[in-house]
Amino acid sequence: MKQLIVEGTKKTPHVELNPDGHVIIKGRCIMENPIPFFDPIFNWVKKCTSSALNVDIQLEYVNTGGVKQIFTLLLLIKDNSSIRDVYIHWIYEEGDDAIFELGKEIELQIKLPFGFFELSGDLA
């Protein structure tokens, strides 16, 4: 697997998918049509042969379409038979109850191990 890096913008998150199993999603996810943005990311996950993934998700804001894509991404990770060990680091800004609760809700539905990390200050 090759590394895939998608640079973030004001509306899209920075994404790093590394062959060593470290995945980073950081920033805002507020595009009107997130499917074209996430397609290469989904394809990378489907082809991933790493036995373990550590996924750092650090969102400052995400809209409904973005939530659906993050959910789909985590389902693809869960369904990839090569990936046997997955750990999600859900990182949120101190006091951002909405992003924290979103992570809790996704954790309940996906049934993958999550760790929740509250950071003080801006996530940018």
Is residue 16 within 8 A of residue 22, CB to CB? The reply is: yes
Domains of the chain, start order:
4-119 (3.30.750.24)
β-bridge partners, 117:
91
Cα dihedral sign, 18-8-24-44: negative
- pLDDT value of position 60: 93
pTM: 0.92
pLDDT single digits (tens) 48-69: 999 999 999 999 999 999 999 9
Neighbours of 51 (CB within 10 A): 10
In the predicted model, what is the mean pLDDT of residues 63-88? Answer: 96
SS3 42: helix
